[in-house]
Structure 1
Amino acid sequence: MKALLGKHWFLAVLLGGVALAWFEPQWLRPATQRLEPRAVVALALFLMAWTLESRSLFTVLARPLPALWAAIISYGPLPALGLCAGWLLPDADLRIGLLLITAVPCTLASAVLWTRLAGGSEATALLVILLTTATSWLVTTAWLAFATGTAAALDAATLMRSLVLVLVLPVGIGQIARSRPRLRAPADRLKPAFSVVSRLLILCIILKAAVDVSDRLSAGSVPLSLGALAFTAVLCAAIHLVALVTGLVSSRLLRFDYPTQIAVAFSCSQKTLPVALYVFVGQLLMDTLIAERLAHGHHTNPTR
């Protein structure tokens, strides 16, 4: 049991934390009310960039095809699948919600973390995050306009400013810190510890969202049956797995190396929104187990 908990500690903490937020949100609310998600994500990205080899980032920038392919899957087949699968849902709001979940950018931090956990190319996942986030103001709104027939007005300048503050600036500072030998050495030495800290930071964001969702459900502001929500969650999990397998198999057919295949699989399939919290939790549960399996495959077949 101790060995099992040592291997799957994050799954246990994630499930326990979400259950606590669902049944006893008042226990967590004093802490989550003070939490600023953007600052937490920025810190997690800084830690990942600080421990990321600059050489691998430059290599990915020079050969961006895998990242572009992941972005194409993320913004093409995945939203199309969400649009088609939405007709299985009984409520129009759920159908639009499913499309929105599949049409948003890649997750800002967890895609890199779970790519690292599986032994994949973190730099590729990071570039996918940048590409999908930078183009979300155009692609996401285009999908919504196509599905609903209405145009959404977004402040592109505000979105780009947020992108710079939350993504570009932390990554840039992390890479600048890495250029100094005195700062690079502790980053390399403490990389496993920083990976754990980054996952705990993601957990903090999940718990904050869990408390918010629990409060909304308790207030009756989400007039949907539990059965409809459960079916939607199952449908989202199935779409996520289809996207992940599509990214993995197509990358193999395109002859990307194995670490890059892993990065494409996770970065093209991971999506999240605060309203889709329990879908995101399901993604992380599945992806943790998948990452461990892929990491095992990487160790047993390092040249694949």
Structure 2
Amino acid sequence: MIWRSLRRHWFLFGLGFAFAIGFGAGPKAAWLLDLPYLRSGFVFTVMWITGLTLRGDAIRRCVAQPLGGAMACGLNMIIVPALCYVAAIVLTPELGGGLYVAGLAPCTLASAAIWTRRAGGDDSIALLTTIVTNLACVAVVPIGLWIGLGRQAEIPIVGQIQKLFWVVVVPLLLAQATRRLGGAAAADNNRGLLAFLAQIGILVMVFFGAIASRQLMDQSDQPMGWFAGAMLLMTILAAATVHVAALLGGIRLARLGGLSQDRQIAVGFSGSQKTLMVGLQIAIDCGVSVVPMIIYHLSQLFIDTYVADRWAIAHAKHGGNQPPDPTGSLSGNSGPTDAT
């Protein structure tokens, strides 16, 4: 039973283990953060590996009906950062800055599409949102950092643009070029291996982030003990609240826009999810805590799995036809979804 649980949830256990080791190592491992191109190299590699699994042909389906993709991108790049900025008011500067960085991070490279398909949604919207937000982060993130954190820390705007271009945009473009040059079949046939390698890279970045968090805590004059526990609880509540608000808000917005239920699902998931890899890199560079980014990632894993399973069960009960909205009890609407 324990072994089965470890095999099924090894990544969640790995996140905790990697953070604990990095946080405990603290000053002894700080020299790793100063090695040139080490962190950037891991981010580049993971982005390239994950980008290999993105199917460019699915984007054409979404471009023909762009409203859903536009809603999801706007939600991901504008609304979620704004919600995080407001929620960060109740946190310490380090945790609040980390939560705001989590909001600025682009959409996940794989899980948004996976959860959308799992729930019976249109994954073309999720794929489009993934590509657009990751490519646009070269401009969105530096501008967002200047607006939200400019007074808290000196943000090298040009440096952030250059770094994000090389560690996000370039590997994604190379990955798509690899698929077009004959690597698509190999990538599709080895999705499991590629996902495993990407997760290992994320764990390494969590380790680096934990080292940076320990340095930040050692330099902070904030009291520990009960205060630290209260702030951690507030961070969990803030991250989960922002994610749920964005998820349900995206579904409701798409419904008001007259989109079909499968596209409502896609807008909700892809508009609310944030990638851990890029968020960790930005948080470390900006000198804010990586804890909110990790918490946001964990909350979306648990919350979206629950919501996706409810959608899947509802679809199964209705034989693949459009069922009543299974998120109604969460959003306050238990009636059927508008079919238009």
The two structures have a TM-score, normalised by structure 2, of: 0.70
CA distance in 1, matches of 2:5, 2:202: 22
Does 2:74 correspond to 1:72? yes
**Corresponding residue of 1:251:** 254
Q: Share of identical aligned residues, percent?
A: 18
Q: CA deviation at 1:259?
A: 6.7
SS of the residue corresponding to residue 214 of structure 1 reads helix
Residues 1-304 of structure 1: matches in 2 within 5 Å? Answer: 1=1, 2-25=3-26, 36-61=38-63, 63-89=65-91, 93=93, 97=97, 100-101=100-101, 104-106=104-106, 111-118=108-115, 119=117, 120=123, 121-143=126-148, 154-156=156-158, 158-181=159-182, 183-217=183-217, 220-226=218-224, 227-228=227-228, 229-237=231-239, 238-254=241-257, 255=259, 258=262, 261-262=265-266, 264-270=268-274, 272=279, 273-274=283-284, 275-297=288-310, 299-300=312-313, 301=315
In 2: Cα distance, 1:133 partner to 1:260 partner? 27
Q: Distance in 1 between matches of 2:184 and 2:95?
A: 47
Q: Distance in 1 between matches of 2:289 and 2:267?
A: 23
C-alpha offsets along residues 136-184 of structure 1, whole Å, 9 cap, x if unaligned? Answer: 3334434557xx6x9977544x444333322222112111111233x22
CA distance in 1 between counterparts of 2:311 and 2:189 reads 22
2: CA distance between counterparts of 1:64 and 1:185?
28
Aligned match of 2:330: none
Name the aligned partner's letter for residue 164 of structure 1: F
* Secondary structure at 2:101 match in 1: helix
Amino acid of the residue matched to residue 134 of structure 1? A
Helix, strand or coil for the counterpart of 1:276? Answer: coil
Please give the secondary structure, in 1, of the residue aligned with 2:112. Answer: helix
Pair 11,231 (structure 1): closer, same or farther in 2 beyond 3 Å: closer
CA drift of 1:123 comes to: 3.7
Query: Which residue identity does 1:223 align to in structure 2?
Result: D
Instruction: Supply the distance in 2 between the matched residues of 1:95 and 1:210 (Cα, whole angstroms).
Output: 13
SS in 2 for 1:135: helix
Secondary structure, in 3 states, of the residue corresponding to 1:46? helix
Q: Which moved more, 1:204-213 or 1:44-53?
A: 44-53
State how far apart, in whole Å, the 2-side matches of 1:242 and 1:61 are.
Answer: 26
- Distance between the aligned counterparts of 2:105 and 2:268, measured in 1? 14
Q: Aligned with 1:208: secondary structure?
A: helix
Gaps of 5+ in 1: none
Q: CA deviation at 1:253?
A: 4.4
> Aligned partner of 2:294: which letter?
V
> 8 Å contact 1:105–1:133 — kept in the other structure?
no
- Cα separation, partners in 2 of 1:83 and 1:25, compared to 1, 3 Å: closer
Indicate the larger mover: 202-211 or 54-63: 54-63
Q: Deviations over 1:191-249 (max 9, x none)?
A: 121112112211111111112212332xx301223425324423432333323332344
Change beyond 3 A, Cα 1:297–1:43:
farther
Cα contact 1:106–1:133 (8 A) shared by 2: no
Q: Specify whether residues 296 and 153 from structure 1 end up closer, same or farther in structure 2 by C-alpha distance, changes over 3 A only.
A: closer
Q: Distance in 2 between matches of 1:178 and 1:77?
A: 33
RMSD in angstroms over aligned alpha carbons?
3.6
Matched residue pairs, number? 292
Q: What residue identity is the alignment partner of 1:141? A: W
Q: Deviations over 1:5-58 (max 9, x none)?
A: 222121111122222223344787687765722222222221222222220134
1:112 offset after TM fit, Å?
1.7
